[in-house]
Amino acid sequence: MKNTIFTGAGVAIVTPMNADGSVNYDALGDLIEMQIAGSTDAIIICGTTGESSTLSDEEHRECIRYTIEKVNKRVPVIAGTGSNDTAYAVELSKDAEAMGADGLLVVTPYYNKTSQRGLIAHYTAIADAVNIPIILYNVPSRTGVNISIDTYKVLAEHKNIVASKEASGNISAVAKLIAECGNKLDVYSGNDDQIVPIMALGGKGVISVLSNIAPKLTHDITALCLENNCAEAAKLAAENLALANSLFIDVNPIPVKEALNMMGKAAGPCRLPLYEMEDSKKEALAAALREAGLIK
């Protein structure tokens, strides 16, 4: 068995922006403190929800550095260092390790994509370059690439590849992954509406969008699963399904940043091409937040 980076709810934290589009590091610090106070089990910085694709190289590195220093070992910090350029992913991963990251989240190559053989070569190059654990990130709806079970089996043999964030939405594929690689590869749900089924199959937790606005709730759902109380976890998840789903009425992270703004947290705008939601969606989101008691 490899060492598990974290169990429970890790937040895929947003990157707050000022009105002029610059990164708001003070607000990021406030959100980090809110997460830790809310029992979040790990902070994942510069993932999809953190708008990593529109951060400059300097901003990307500074967000990782700032988060590691702000968290100060209170919970694990996992840095998003994936790229469709293997050489850049290697460079960024090495820098994140040098800054003190506890682990890396590495998405499959996007746009140029690759074959399954290419995935093995890509991830092996990154894993060979560092000495900290790596979470693979499988999100074919965004990248156009799906990691096959056979590829997972090969990658799971690498000592530094310890887990996968599964955001394919395919529960059958996740079940097969856990059956084939469960003793060599931890699995985290990449979808908030699939926390309980994936953890019931043996998953270790979630890398969550919902945690941005409801860290204690998300932590509690995973904690119940870890206690083998999936019935209560399912009840809690079902009671809050509308809230979780409201964060996906537009392209992530547009709704979750809007939700944080409605809650009085300075998440700010998204960067183009992500654009402000239309009023009808804002009203639906506000209704879900009111129903959950997060705003008045």
pLDDT > 70: what percent of the chain?
100
Q: Is residue 137 annotated as part of the catalytic site, yes or no?
A: yes
Q: Could you report the per-residue pLDDT of 11-24, keeping only the tens digit for each? A: 999 999 999 999 99
Q: Could you report the per-residue pLDDT of 268-296, keeping only the tens digit for each? A: 999 999 999 999 999 999 999 999 999 99
Q: Could you report the per-residue pLDDT of 34-69, keeping only the tens digit for each? A: 999 999 999 999 999 999 999 999 999 999 999 999
- Residue 86 is predicted with a pLDDT of 98
Helix/strand/coil (H/E/C) assignment for every residue in 24-74: CHHHHHHHHHHHHHCCCCEEEECCCCCCHHHCCHHHHHHHHHHHHHHHCCC
- Residue 269 is predicted with a pLDDT of 97
- Residue 2 is predicted with a pLDDT of 80
The answer to whether the CB of 98 falls within 8 A of the CB of 127 is no
Listed residue (239, 250, 246, 260) closest to 288, CA to CA: 246
Q: Could you report the per-residue pLDDT of 185-199, keeping only the tens digit for each? A: 999 999 999 999 999
- Residue 34 is predicted with a pLDDT of 98
Q: Could you report the per-residue pLDDT of 229-256, keeping only the tens digit for each? A: 999 999 999 999 999 999 999 999 999 9
User: How sure is the predictor about 182, in pLDDT bands with cuts at 50, 70 and 90?
Assistant: confident
- Give dist(CA 98, CA 130) in Å, integer: 9
Considering the candidates 137, 188, 204, 265, report the single residue annotated as catalytic.
Answer: 137
The answer to whether the CB of 171 falls within 8 A of the CB of 179 is no
Q: Among all chains, which residue has been given the structure tokens 């879900």? A: 288
Q: Is residue 88 annotated as part of the catalytic site, yes or no?
A: no
Amino acid identity, position 253: P
Considering the candidates 70, 123, 152, 165, report the single residue annotated as catalytic.
Answer: 165
Quote the CATH superfamily of domain 8-227. Aldolase class I (3.20.20.70)
Q: What is the mean pLDDT of the chain?
A: 97
Q: Could you report the per-residue pLDDT of 91-140, keeping only the tens digit for each? A: 999 999 999 999 999 999 999 999 999 999 999 999 999 999 999 999 99
Q: Among all chains, which residue has been given the structure tokens 């960067």? A: 271
What residues does each domain of the chain span? 8-227
What's the rounded mean pLDDT across residues 163-190? 96
Listed residue (7, 14, 9, 110) closest to 67, CA to CA: 14
SS3 293: coil
pLDDT at position 1 over 70: no
The answer to whether the CB of 271 falls within 8 A of the CB of 17 is yes
What's the rounded mean pLDDT across residues 149-170? 97
